[in-house]
Amino acid sequence: MNRGHTSAPSSPRPGETEKVIDDSVLSQVIKDVGATQATTVLLLFAGELERRIGEVLEAASGPDVEALRRVAHGAKGSASTFGAPRVAAAARRLEEACKSAAPAVEIASLAQRLIEHLQPAATEVRSRLSVLEEADHV
């Protein structure tokens, strides 16, 4: 389910993982939170991935690199918790670039790359959510 965001294709680049969602991690989260909470938690995560797109765009267009670092850090934490390795890796690279005061062009490029991974991850999470809901109905 696409919520209307457009994004560039997020095919992996050299060094990037193939998986948009690591099902072993996500399945563990779903198991640990329990069936009744799983839908809520996945909905929140999908929404958070989508919200991050706007946050990265806003922070990257402003002068506050620290604000961009905080957004990247937040994206990294959630992505690693739920098993979104491409988002986690892209967020980590952006966070490190911000911390090391990398050239603006490099930071902008990494921000762009993170955005490219956020929407596909959200889409994948929502597809897992549909599967869960269907299983509930069955």
Partner 1 sequence: MSEAILLIEDSPAQAAVYKAYLEGEGYSVVMAGSGEEGLRALEERAVAAVLLDLQLPGIGGFEVLERLRRRSSRIPVVVVTDYGSAENASEAVRLGAADFVTKPFDRGRLKVTIGNAIRQGQLATMVDKLQEKFSRDRFHRFVGGSAPMQAVYRVIESAAPSRATVFITGESGTGKELCAEAIHRESPRHDGPFIAVNCAALPRDLIESEIFGHVKGAFTGAVRQRDGAASLADGGTLFLDEIGEMDLELQAKLLRFVQTGQFQRVGSGEMIKVDVRIVCATNRDPLEQVRQGRFREDLYYRLHVIPIHLPPLRDRGEDVIDIARQFLAKSADEEGKAFVRFSAEAEQMLRDYAWPGNVRELENVVRNVVVLHDGESVLPAMFPPAVARRTLSNDVGEPFAKTEAKSATSPDEPAVSRAGTEPPVQAMTVLPLWEVERQAIESAIERFGGNVLRAAAALEISPSTIYRKRQAWEQRRDATATTADD
Single residue of 9, 14, 15, 34 touching partner 1 by CB under 8 A: 34
Footprint on residues 55-114 left by partner 1 (CB under 8 A): 70, 73-74, 76-78, 80-83, 92
Nearer to partner 1, 72 or 115 (CB): 72
The 3-state DSSP class for residue 129 equals helix
Report residue 49: phi and psi, to 5°: -60, -45
What is the residue type of 41?
Answer: V
User: Per rule CB under 8 A, is residue 7 in the interface with partner 1?
Assistant: no
Exactly one of 32, 106, 133, 136 binds partner 1 (CB under 8 A); which one?
A: 32
Instruction: With contacts defined by CB under 8 A, name the span among 5-13, 28-36, 97-105, 111-119 that binds partner 1.
Output: 28-36
Q: Is 29 in the site for partner 1 (CB under 8 A)?
A: yes
CA distance 37 to 70: 28
Could you tell me the smallest distance in angstroms from the CB atom of residue 33 to partner 1? Answer: 4
* Cβ atoms within 10 Å of 97's Cβ, excluding its own: 22
Binder of partner 1 out of 2, 11, 17, 28 (CB under 8 A): 28
- Please state, as a whole number, how many other Cβ atoms lie within 10 Å of the Cβ of residue 91: 29
Q: Could you write out the DSSP letters of every residue in 44-95? A: HHHHHHHHHHHHHHHHHTSS-HHHHHHHHHHHHHHHHHHT-HHHHHHHHHHH
Q: Least distance (Å) from partner 1 to the CB of residue 105?
A: 25
For partner 1 (CB under 8 A), the number of binding residues is 24
Q: Tell me the backbone φ, ψ of residue 75, rounded to 5 degrees.
A: -65, -40
Would you tell me which residues interact with partner 1 (CB under 8 A)? 25, 28-29, 32-34, 37, 40-41, 44-45, 47-48, 70, 73-74, 76-78, 80-83, 92
